[in-house]
């Protein structure tokens, strides 16, 4: 269904390490019609109303900001620790080789607001799950997450679904 968009995503073999097939969305972003179509299709899949679109640093910011416009929603930034000024709340999570932390401003949302979580790609789902926990800790209603690309063999979408979140993606790539 979205083969037109899939064709705009470049695959870079063995990046950042041997055996990884890196799905590079910068080539999609360079195509004005392709980027616009991506946002239109994501907006059509959104279950509204949506108060805020939360983008995960950094490529998620691009899609969240563009998607917020047709949804008439605000944009909430989910960043790595130490990147936001002012008071923040945080969520720690485990990575393949260590731990990390994401944060958001503690006053970024009003409890009960409906938040759509957005990122460019979902792989193992660790960051997305942490973002869902962070948003819910702040009182958000998070019922849907959208990704441009899903790597279903890594199981991230299923992991996020297990937290009661509908997960949608436009494109799937097999493998890593």
* Per-residue pLDDT tens over the stretch 54-100: 999 999 999 999 999 999 999 999 999 999 999 999 999 987 778 99
* Alpha-carbon distance values, 69 to 20, 42, 102, 114, 137 (Å): 34, 12, 25, 16, 26
Q: What's the CATH fold of domain 48-172?
A: Rossmann fold (3.40.50)
Cβ atoms of 47 and 71 within 8 Å: the answer is no
CA distance 134 to 139: 9
Q: Which residues contact 71 (CB under 8 A, 6 or more apart)?
A: 43, 46, 48, 50, 53, 116
Q: Which two tokens stand for residue 10?
A: 């470049």
Would you place residue 48 in the very low, low, confident or very high pLDDT band (cuts 50, 70, 90)? confident
Average pLDDT (122-136) is 97
Q: pTM of the prediction?
A: 0.96
Catalytic residue annotation: 59, 96
Average pLDDT (105-133) is 97
Question: pLDDT for 160-170, tens place per residue?
Answer: 999 999 999 99
Cβ atoms of 50 and 59 within 8 Å: the answer is no
């Amino acid at each position: 269904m979205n083969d037109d968009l899939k064709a705009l995503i470049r695959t870079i073999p063995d990046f950042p390490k041997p055996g990884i097939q890196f799905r590079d969305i910068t080539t999609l972003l360079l195509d004005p019609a392709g980027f616009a179509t991506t946002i239109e299709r994501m907006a059509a899949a959104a279950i509204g109303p949506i108060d805020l679109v939360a983008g995960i640093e950094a490529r998620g910011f691009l899609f969240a900001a563009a998607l917020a416009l047709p949804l008439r929603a605000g944009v909430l930034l989910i960043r790595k620790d130490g990147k936001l000024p002012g008071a923040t709340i945080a969520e720690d999570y485990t990575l393949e080789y260590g731990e990390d932390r994401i944060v958001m401003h503690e006053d970024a949302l009003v409890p009960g607001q409906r938040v759509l979580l957005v990122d460019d790609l979902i792989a193992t789902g660790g960051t997305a799950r942490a973002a869902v926990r962070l948003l819910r800790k702040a009182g958000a209603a998070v019922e849907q997450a959208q990704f441009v690309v899903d790597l279903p063999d890594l199981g991230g979408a299923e992991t996020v679904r297990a937290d009661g979140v509908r997960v949608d993606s436009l494109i799937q790539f097999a493998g890593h």
